[in-house]
Structure formats: structure tokens, C-alpha cells
Amino acid sequence: MDNWEKYQTMKEEDLIEEIKTINTKLFKIREGTDIYNQLVGMRSMAQMAYEEKLAIARLKTDKSPAVLEIGNISSEVNEIIYEPNELLKVTVKSYFKTLRGKIKK
């Protein structure tokens, strides 16, 4: 059986013990050897399996709704219809206001 499959069948408490066991073995072995690298890989697989089990448990106990209801949105559109002369007057007033800071009459 592959280590990943073994870790998937273990309970969370057993995974924690397995990670502790692997860590104690790592302290006894010289860094950089093939066995050390294999143990590091085993530890990371065990940690991933543990984190996956925690995430699954968290999702099972999550009571938050899938969609967040924020309420209703209403809108109102006001269309102003300008005559060509009125549009010209508004444009000229706006132009002079921005140039001099005051509207000339």
C-alpha cells in the first residue's frame, strides 16, 4: 500500500502521531541523505493528508449559506432632454465656470 493511501485511511490523531514519529526519525538521520529526503517526503504527505482531513471536517461543520443575500437593489433613471440651444448654453456656462471660477452673466 502506498503511503498516501495509508495516510488517507488514518484518523487525525493517528496522523499527528505519525508526523511526530517521522520528525523524531528525522532528528536522528543526517541531512541530505536519501533516507532523510524520503522521510521529508513522507512527512509532507502526512501533513497534506492531515490538512485535507481538517478542511473536510471544517466544510462539513460549516453552516454559512452558499449565497450571501445582500438585499434588493432599486434604481431610477432620470433622463434630461436638452434642446440644442440649451445644450450649448450649459456647455458655455460650464466652460466659463472652469476657466474663471465664476459664471459671467
What is the residue-level pLDDT of the chain in tens, covering all 105 positions? Answer: 588 899 999 999 999 999 999 999 999 999 989 999 999 999 999 999 999 999 999 888 887 777 777 778 888 888 877 788 888 888 888 887 777 655 555
Question: How is residue 2 written as a grid cell?
Answer: 502506498
Contacts of 50 (CB under 8 A, 6+ apart): 7, 12, 15, 16, 19
Q: Alpha-carbon distance 53 to 15, whole Å?
A: 10
pTM check: above 0.85: no
> How far is it, in rounded angstroms, from Cα 5 to Cα 42?
12
Sorted by where each begins, the domain ranges of the chain are 3-61
